[in-house]
Chain A
Amino acid sequence: MSKKELKENLWGFGFIAPQLIGFLAFSLFPTVAAIILSCFEWDLVSKPKWVGISNFKYIFFSGESDFPLALKNTVLYILYTIPAQLFLALVFAVILNNVGLKMLYRAIFFLPTITNSVAISLVWTWLLNGDFGIINTLLKSLGIEGPQWLTDPNLVMLSIALMSIWWGVGYYTTIFLAGLQSIPNVYYEAATIDGANAVQKFFKITLPMVSPTTFFVLIMSLINGFQVFDQIYIMTNGGPAKASMSLVFLIYQYGFKDFKMGWAAAVSMVMFAIILTITLVQFKFSNRWVYYER
């Protein structure tokens, strides 16, 4: 390497050094630490003890671990949130794309997204209060006995999902809106000439052309779905009786409450593997339904 090339490289490293150091210290290092920790038994106070794959055996096969329950709750949450969020976000985006005062409506839809998750969770905790919440009070005024949204084990995950849908739909609407606006108008004009109606245009033009955006939204919402924590921690603390315990909440429980760092790291690794597998599968099959304009 010539002196000039070396100098250029050094300058380059210098400029990216802050980001690189941050990435190494706060992303790569903890990730590698978690991988190693998943093979240790450590409670913070005693010396870490190598246990090999025992932590993984515990969470999968012991019958005592809450991992299966947490996984089930997380999958339930994803099944409640993602289809609804995708559908609503696309519908809102299509509507917003065709109305006046776009900027105002976009701002209104996007507001929940930029609001702090803790604040929103606290407010929704009281909205959904079975005895005093506004929602049940409104239902009562219509002669309907509202359920115990957050304290009924059969309903709690749905309640949290409803809140998450409301919170997140604005963000995905904005993304879909950008995707819709990138569709060239010529296709719609050609379709109009050919006599296509609005429904046909939507299914034959809009949906296929917005499929790259849909693909992105699907991946992001799946990853976010697996990482649900804030709402659960604030609204239900994993209860009642672990009915709303998600995978990340389980990691928090194992690490910060039970001081079982090895278990927490093992669950993190399994969750990472699940998300990675699902994402790779999506990429693999994306060419069957995602159309990129060439």
Chain B
Amino acid sequence: MKKFNVAAIIVMSMFLLNLLLFQNIFIFQSQAASQKITLTFMNWANPGERERFIKFNEYFMKKNPDIQIKYITVSSDYDYKLLTMLAGNSAPDMFYVGDGAIRKTIQSGKLEPLNSYFGKGKVILKKEDFDNVLFRIAEYKGKIYGIPVDCNPMVIHYNMSIISKLGLESPQKLYDTGKWTWDEFYKIAKKAREKGYYGYVLDSGWWGPIMPWFATVYKDGREPVLTDLKNKKSLLDKPEYIEVIKFLVKGIKDKAFTYAGSLPQGQTSDGMFLSGRLVFGAWGRWQVPNFKKAKFSWDIVPYPTKYGNKNTKTYIAQAVISMSSTSKYKEQAWRFIASFTNQDGQKFRLEGQGNAVPAIKGIDYLVTQDKVPAHAEYYVRGRENGFPIDFYIQEAGANSAALQELEKIFVLKADPEQQMKKIAGYITQQYQKNLKGY
């Protein structure tokens, strides 16, 4: 009986502790106590980028001797780590947020609105310095929750050596003459596959690879709209988007295209491109440092379109830098954010590095002065004529499930029309349930 009482007390204590935690009664905070103000900055970075960020932090601290930067790099599961920190009130003062997680992060209520900081403080930053399109993902109910750090418009990268070897016409020439169409793209990919190469790999796991294709169906170059916000309805089942999916399915069926989700784990499209086995891939400028090592000639071109028009928009992959609403040193945090994203800061980070397009106006020469690839201006043109991710799907919590259902079309050969209608129906359901305040 006595032993049972002891055990019961221990288990009950566990229950009580858990319930108290769930009521957020315990709040953990840590503060660095020093003469200098210590700000924590967190982002993701590969080893090369990390070195560049460390140098920037040193440069900033030199210019701002009253601030010490504590830098955290997260190599994987960044979104989860950030959300956990936000939930535990232990978020860094400044941190990156990707476009795949920005809406969820805004919904946490732990991001500082930045509208009132523009044009003020020791480092002046203005909203007009940027392309307006880059603020769309971080703007919610009139408040801006993040400043674009840089951006990466998606373009088609192609292996010119393979195309020449096969005696086919260069995509650039086709583009110049208004003949860069779905059919021509398909023909090149199919021919390459017949000769033992991979034609085109459609990447999986996020909306980035699919979204630019939705834009290519429009002759007038309009932006694809996937959400009817007024009626809280998904528009993924529109005939033109189904037509896009059918085009991709046909390519996969004929083996001209390959869906990355059906490749073995670890076999990535950029690895295949770099090893000279893939003709077409779709990426942003983040691959340039990698592809510079290629032993073949390559270049970039906008996505092929249904009609060969040259005014098509493309998707811009991007991240913003945000401030925690619980930061104790908001003026200093803003100073860092402004220094990080103004012309000086972006120039410092992107000069010679070549892994993104500046988000701020006036320094596009950093992209075009780099002669690799030969038509680097398409990266900049993508920012000027681009669109962000459809963040409503994310906001409604439908992202993951919708992507998994989409995968069934390419891997399990589900009927494209039926499946797209199913996906649209599911997303609409989630919109009705979860999209609030519109």
Residues of A within 8 A of B (CB): 24, 28-29, 32-33, 36-37, 40, 42-48, 64, 122, 125-126, 128-130, 148, 150-151, 153, 234-237, 239-242, 253, 256-260
B400 touches A239 (CB 8 A): no
A153 touches B411 (CB 8 A): yes
Residue of B with least CB distance to A122: B266
Q: Which of B22, B108, B397, B408 contacts A258 (CB 8 A)?
A: B397
Min CB distance A199 to B, Å, is 44
A151 touches B263 (CB 8 A): yes
Consensus secondary structure, chain A interface: loop
A234 touches B14 (CB 8 A): no
Q: Which of B14, B19, B400 contacts A29 (CB 8 A)?
A: B14
Question: Cβ of B397: which chain A residues have Cβ within 8 Å of it?
Answer: 43, 258, 260
List residues of B (11-44) whose CB comes within 8 Å of A's CBs.
Answer: 11, 14-15, 17-19, 21-22, 24
Q: Mark B211-253, 1 if CB is under 8 A from A, else 0.
A: 0000000000000000000000000000000000000000000
B87 touches A125 (CB 8 A): no
The list of the 10 closest CB pairs from A to B, nearest first, reads A45-B108, A241-B411, A32-B14, A44-B87, A240-B411, A44-B83, A151-B262, A33-B18, A241-B412, A258-B400
Question: Cβ of B15: which chain A residues have Cβ within 8 Å of it?
Answer: 32, 36
* Contacts beyond the supplied A33-B21, A126-B264, A240-B411: 12 A-B pairs with Cβ under 8 Å: A28-B11, A29-B17, A32-B14, A44-B86, A44-B87, A45-B86, A46-B107, A125-B264, A126-B266, A150-B264, A237-B265, A241-B404
- The answer for the CA separation of A260 and B430 in the assembled complex, in Å, is 14
Q: Which of A32, A44, A64 contacts B426 (CB 8 A)?
A: A64
Given contacts A45-B105, A240-B411, A242-B404, contact A256 B80 (CB under 8 A): yes
Residue of A with least CB distance to B16: A32
Consensus secondary structure, chain B interface: helix
Q: State the interface size on chain B (CB cutoff 8 A).
A: 38
- The answer for the CA separation of A36 and B17 in the assembled complex, in Å, is 11
Given contacts A256-B77, A258-B397, contact A234 B265 (CB under 8 A): yes
B265 touches A150 (CB 8 A): yes
B400 touches A253 (CB 8 A): yes
- The answer for the CA separation of A62 and B234 in the assembled complex, in Å, is 21
Min CB distance B205 to A, Å, is 9
- The answer for the CA separation of A37 and B21 in the assembled complex, in Å, is 11
- The answer for the CA separation of A256 and B24 in the assembled complex, in Å, is 21
Question: Cβ of B61: which chain A residues have Cβ within 8 Å of it?
Answer: none
Residue of A with least CB distance to B400: A258
- The answer for the CA separation of A115 and B154 in the assembled complex, in Å, is 41
A236 touches B22 (CB 8 A): no
- The answer for the CA separation of A238 and B70 in the assembled complex, in Å, is 37
Residue of A with least CB distance to B19: A36
